[in-house]
Structure 1
């Protein structure tokens, strides 16, 4: 039996992770409403999902536009009758944000990821939680990389941005939990299959005075199994967290870092 049968999911972000989440949610039986800023990306993943028998609708939405997100949520509920899952997978290009010491980082570069990530996740989570509380159930899922916990150098405002998302997850859980709403963070290493990782690893390799390959090796070596989190591991964990099997998980982090972070 499909793990998300009869579930309705809103996914924000048309990058590698957002599209992968939409695809696996649909394959597990969910009705997926995927929103992003680039129509061509949305259309491409929608065609793939439909060709495999999945159920998906796409909409061009800026996840930093609160009225647009609220409208999108209302349209989902109007069409599907409910909202079971919300997953925000927005991202930013890291050039100019990562790769420099804090003492050489501009206020604008430091603040950009903090305001972008916190505002977008607040907007989508708030809109989802309002509907989920009315119906008495639902789950809000976020994704944060290992930097939120180990604070490596040269990551700029991304460390407080990701840490703030984890704090938001806890706050949503404690406030909305009595009304049946869960909030879960998925914590990973860098994910090799995502296009952004090439950019980030190159930036950090240069910042540390080593090659891309050397930096990648250092990151792998920091895990217990000497292997970084895969995209499939992230999407499988998202399915579990979103399913009824994960009903006891809320206000916490699913640690998928393979031992890079131990707590």
Structure 2
């Protein structure tokens, strides 16, 4: 069976925001990445899910397929360059090309002041959150360039990257560096027709934030009190922003870090 999607513009308009596109998603086994996999498939994309945990990937892939979407998965360690390249190559092998990518995977460390961050934790969050995003972007640009020719990349950042972040200093620092990579890539690859943007979510009800709330009871309530909408986001709400930035409807948007934070940074 030929898995290569069609690119007819009228078909794309009729079937969904991402119809006819091939999408690669990292961190797709849970949280925002899993929500993006479900949404992108509903919007017509052929999706390839990547993460470290195969059981989670398999479960999300089967869910997407059961809903009528086209999906497959590959186990990928974002801290390993060979693994990242193989995952992107698998997308092209399976679907014939790469159009769009959502770099969502990240690592976290226990909250606390900078002097309490362990060096091993700092190295891990660097390897996954910053270096992993860089490795993925390099592989994705090469694949888009060689197949679709033009496309779009969205990196998942955080509102914690936009100001001082005394509770999660290493995480905030790596995400701020992701913003810089995003802007540099937008300038570099824009002339080729490859757009690169980032989203900066606020409080989102993922496993990561729930674990933080368990370790520091009341943190979600405190963050919600600082948010004009007075609630946390559902992961699907964050995925919606990524889908729009990856779609042709944002065709003149590149180099931006879009806050999706309920007004927290307003």
Match runs of 1:152-231 below 5 Å: 152-192=165-205, 194-203=206-215, 205=216, 212-213=217-218, 215-231=219-235
Classify the secondary structure of the residue corresponding to 1:199. helix
User: What pairs with 1:1-263 in structure 2 (closer than 5 Å)?
Assistant: 1=14, 2-13=16-27, 14-92=29-107, 94=108, 97-134=109-146, 135-192=148-205, 194-203=206-215, 205=216, 212-213=217-218, 215-262=219-266
Describe the shift of the 1:202–1:79 C-alpha distance in structure 2 as closer, same or farther (beyond 3 A).
closer
Deviation of the 1:144 alpha carbon: 1.6
SS of 2:157 mapped into structure 1:
strand
Structure 1 residues 255, 100: CA separation in 2 closer, same or farther (over 3 Å shift)?
Answer: closer
Unaligned runs of 5+ in 2: 1-13
Runs of 4+ in 1 over 4 A off after TM superposition: none
CA distance in 1 between partners of 2:25 and 2:72 (Å): 10
Structure 1 residues 149, 244: closer, same or farther in 2, change over 3 A? same
State the alpha-carbon separation in 2 of the partners of residues 69 and 102 from structure 1. 30
Q: Which runs of 5+ in 1 are unaligned?
A: 206-211
Contact 1:4 1:30 in 2 (8 A): yes
Tell me, in whole angstroms, the C-alpha distance in 1 between the residues paired with 2:220 and 2:75. 34
Partner deviation per Cα, 1:199-238 (whole Å, 9 max, x = no partner): 11233x3xxxxxx23x222211111222223212111111
Aligned residues: 250
Contact 1:19 1:45 in 2 (8 A): yes
Report if the CA contact (8 A) 2:20-2:44 is conserved. Answer: yes
TM-score by length of 2: 0.88
